[in-house]
Chain A
């Protein structure tokens, strides 16, 4: 057990810090949360800056255009960018954190060459078309059909909760290519261009008032067969690869951000008198313990994946289960610190409190994570 970072790792951190200090002050002002085209522009500009500085796709393999950095360097990158207040991966989330890594792991040379560089440069944005109105937790029950017609699949059906579909160029889409096969066996993973005829995107309003996700209707959309990643009907296995990336590294920066929020909360409570309430104070102390342990658990998981060759382990489910709960508790505590201001949408943290409600739902609900932990880690029998 060695928690010290090596000299090379510290040098990497130092150079990154210098670079961040040099470029962050020159960034344009942040766009309004509901202006998706502006958000896309902001996020992809940042991605381009990362690319030009050699920080894009840090953790991707070199032959996929990445830098082949170690998981530890990637951890340092996420920690330092968060600490410096750099823009969040935002609209580039799906491309960088799961569609890209999936194409890198499962795609052909041609597919990698086509899709990966634009993701890294910030030229193209991806979204995730997995969930359907009748297939959320039971993802494999999806019904969107793809029928082969010559060199194309012809796709009909609908998707839902597709984050930033409005501004995406590509969609990682799960479709049913064999309706007769058992439900996990007849699925394929496709890259669908979002400008193909037959796609209708209808934004949905979240409880926080924003329109970050959408419904997507697909009416005989033609997607070339060469856009399929992995074999036909082998999409469930490819999906598992995608989900392991999603749960493996997606929340690292957020733990740093939460710890920072907790510090700000303590400062605020000290200045507005709430700190004198021992119940609240101790609640914040407990959150400190939780976030510290989640950070250490992250280091543990990263070290493990470094040893096993880079694919995030199933420990991501344990992390996600715990983190999503802690995040919600953090913003409940924030509301107590804010007092009467907790109802003012212009106050810091109020939007975060609302958005934290999605954490136990999105990316697999807490109940689904518990099933995964119990069945795949602890080896309990599958339910009926």
Chain B
């Protein structure tokens, strides 16, 4: 057992961070907000060239031949950077929809009755084992009603009938949930950093606000949400187990949403402005939490996994461990 990133995995992650730092810095993020989150086709192709979409396609099919653990690292970086676009759907469409692997096509997917992201600019919508494109897609888009999206980075449409386009396989849903969880993880880690940085710089009452315990403890709790979520997401990527993926999604959703809220609080009035990036993280995190596996469904799945334990061997009512046995304040 060696549950640490390999050197290759570390290199992959830092390569992705560097790439995004170069092609999607804060100015471009704000420009994307001004454009309403519309996909930047040039950037999309650059991601394709970097193997973002083809990462898990076998090499024989022109892919990179890596697995879910590596994909999760890339999506974590995308989540950190708030990279817009139907990243999960296009990644899952590689090998299925022409041009998806290369970043030539923008592919989206519908999830139940939720509004569909980036429908207006998509070249295809995944539908069961295939995809809607061309005439069928145009008809679908024409019948859909644009929504004034709460998240400025994710344009949304509501579709009249979602039957065909939501017939995804179980495996598809699981992988979509996991990759979404990875984006949430990246966002949670980023808002923690932003909060810590602000708390170290902003002064009130003659001291950095980070020296006040009320602020400090918010930051500590952010890390204490992020790290268990990270362990859950990485482990789920290694095992691919649906229950483990549900746990990962649940914890990553919570970490992303609550960390963004705490980060906003720590930024004070500045946090409530359009200028601060934190609202972008929060809105995106809210949207992602509803996607692919919402909290209630994940909890039901995790509940169904419980039971059949047999009698408790170390029954502590007799004598096991009554309480922590030692102290020490530190």
Contact = CB atoms under 8 A, between A and B. Distances in A.
Interface of A: 1-6, 9, 30-33, 39, 42, 72, 75, 82-88, 90, 93-94, 97-98, 128, 130-131, 135-139, 161, 163-164, 206, 208, 210, 212, 239-240, 242-243, 246, 250, 254, 257, 260-267, 270, 278, 281-286, 288-290, 292-294, 296-297, 299-300, 302-304, 306-307, 315, 318, 321-322, 346-352, 355-356, 358-359, 362-365, 367-375, 377-384
B198 to A, nearest CB: 11
A151 B210 CA distance: 48
Nearest to A288: B302
Interface string B289-330: 000000010111111111111011111111111111111111
Contacts of A289: 232, 246-247, 250-251, 298-299, 302
A322 B200 CA distance: 24
Given A352-B317, A356-B323, A370-B221, 19 more contacts: A1-B5, A1-B237, A30-B319, A94-B325, A137-B329, A139-B330, A212-B323, A289-B251, A292-B235, A296-B228, A296-B235, A303-B2, A355-B323, A362-B324, A364-B328, A370-B217, A373-B224, A377-B223, A378-B219
Contact of A296 (B9, B212, B231, B327): B231
B260 interface: no
A97 B325 CA distance: 11
A128 B250 contact: no
Contact of B210 (A278, A359, A380): A380
A270 B318 CA distance: 24
A130 B221 CA distance: 27
B210 to A, nearest CB: 4
Contacts of A293: 228-229, 231-232, 247-248, 251
Contact of A303 (B1, B69, B296): B1
A307 B329 CA distance: 28
Nearest to B216: A374
Contact of B317 (A5, A350, A380): A350
B4 A303 contact: yes
B224 A318 contact: yes
A318 B1 contact: no
Given A30-B319, A362-B327, A84 B313 contact: yes
Interface residues of B, number: 77
A266 B228 CA distance: 23
A88 B320 contact: yes
Nearest to A240: B330
Contacts of A300: 3-4, 230-231, 234
B229 A380 contact: no
29 contacts: A1-B4, A1-B5, A1-B238, A3-B1, A6-B1, A39-B319, A82-B314, A93-B326, A131-B328, A135-B329, A243-B330, A257-B320, A267-B308, A281-B303, A283-B299, A285-B306, A288-B243, A289-B246, A296-B231, A300-B230, A318-B224, A351-B316, A363-B328, A364-B327, A364-B330, A367-B217, A370-B221, A374-B219, A375-B216
A238 B313 CA distance: 37
Contact of B322 (A75, A210, A307, A382): A210
Which of B192, B211, B223: most chain A Cβ within 10 A?
B223
Nearest to A135: B329
Given A2-B1, A90-B321, A363-B327, A267 B227 contact: no
Interface in B160-210: 192, 196, 199-200, 207-208, 210
Contacts of A208: 322-323
A88 B237 CA distance: 33
Given A293-B228, A383-B212, A267 B1 contact: no
Nearest to B72: A1
A98 B212 CA distance: 32
Contacts of B76: none
B14 interface: no
A281 B328 contact: no
Contacts of B3: 1-3, 296, 299-300, 302-303
B167 to A, nearest CB: 26
Given A351-B322, A380-B216, A285 B299 contact: yes
A230 to B, nearest CB: 16
B329 to A, nearest CB: 4
Contacts of A138: 329
A207 to B, nearest CB: 10
Contact of A130 (B216, B322, B327): B327
A159 B186 CA distance: 46
A356 to B, nearest CB: 8
B82 to A, nearest CB: 22
B199 A90 contact: no
B329 A130 contact: yes
A263 B309 contact: yes
